Structure 1
Amino acid sequence: MNQIQLNKELIKQIIAQDRKAQFQLFELTKRMVYSLAFRMLNNEDLAHDVLQETYVEVFQQIKNLKHPEALVSWMKTITARKAIKAGKKQFEFDQLDQHPDPIDNQFDSWFDGEILDQAIRELPPGARAVFMLVAVEGYTHKETANLLGITESTSKSQLNYAKKLLKTRIKNLINA
């Protein structure tokens, strides 16, 4: 994304309901917003709904943004919250004591983003949501727990579980 074009002037124009400026922001950020929503939900229709709802809220609430340099982070937070709300029914958190630990061999194989993306999409919904928020988006376990309505320890254990599953799934995909 081109940060140079996300400046205070563009934000002023968006606050003034300038449709061209709104479209420019949309064009600059739509991939980021959709990507986050899709990776959390693993559902194209829900991700498109979250994309639309995110921009509705951004354009309605941007007048309240005190620090324009935080626009992208603010939009990611809105997107994550909308995705969590849209996926609430699918975010089930597995009891980890019911699952044996995946094989923990040394992991040194090369893989590409497509394999990683596929492995992330195959994670159980709760583990995927925690992984996306903590490992990808940089939320703390406390923030993640608050967003998902779980405990911090559940967030930590789900992240660990997601990493173990990813390791195993990536190995399987590479060897397939």
Structure 2
Amino acid sequence: MSKAKAQQPQVIHKVIMVGSGGVGKSALTLQFMYDEFVEDYEPTKADSYRKKVVLDGEEVQIDILDTAGQEEYAAIRDNYFRSGEGFLCLFSITEQESFQATVDFREQILRVKNDDTIPFLLVGNKADLEDKRYVSVDEAQERAKQWNVPYVETSAKTRANVDKVFYDLMRTIRDKKAANSPKDPPKEHTTKCCVLM
């Protein structure tokens, strides 16, 4: 029995990080992956990370794609969105523009995925910079409510809620996969026929 279990392919949850440049996508990803905060990070073209984690007692792999915030990668971004199973959409609580940009990111994802139940978390990063806050909690929660998605504030610097956003998203991805996979193989309908001579 244990041999058969070892042969099972590992479950992989594909997470895509989206948001404007400079909101902390890479910092959040690196904090989750390696427990380190990188203050000065070169603008990302797109980096992929994979990590084994235990999600509610089950060992799974998380595949994280840290996308570029720059607009010139829009065509490539559509391909990334197609491959993603769940999305962390980041903005900086210190930057109103990055918050407004989340609307465009969500619209692009919905257009590419053609599914408005796609696992998605709205993430307000840089929560450690409360004194420089431009986006109120109420404003962000209101948007999340309109979209029917969770809203979480994080800080890549202090590690606040970093694990939470990745694990919450993986749970949502897992639940969606479970809901979409057939529970039992469909029973074949057999029709009895009699041959008349």
Using the size of structure 2 for normalisation, the TM-score is: 0.27
Q: Which has the higher strand share?
A: 2
More helix by share: 1
Q: TM-score, length-normalised on structure 1?
A: 0.30
Larger gyration radius, structure 1 or structure 2: 2
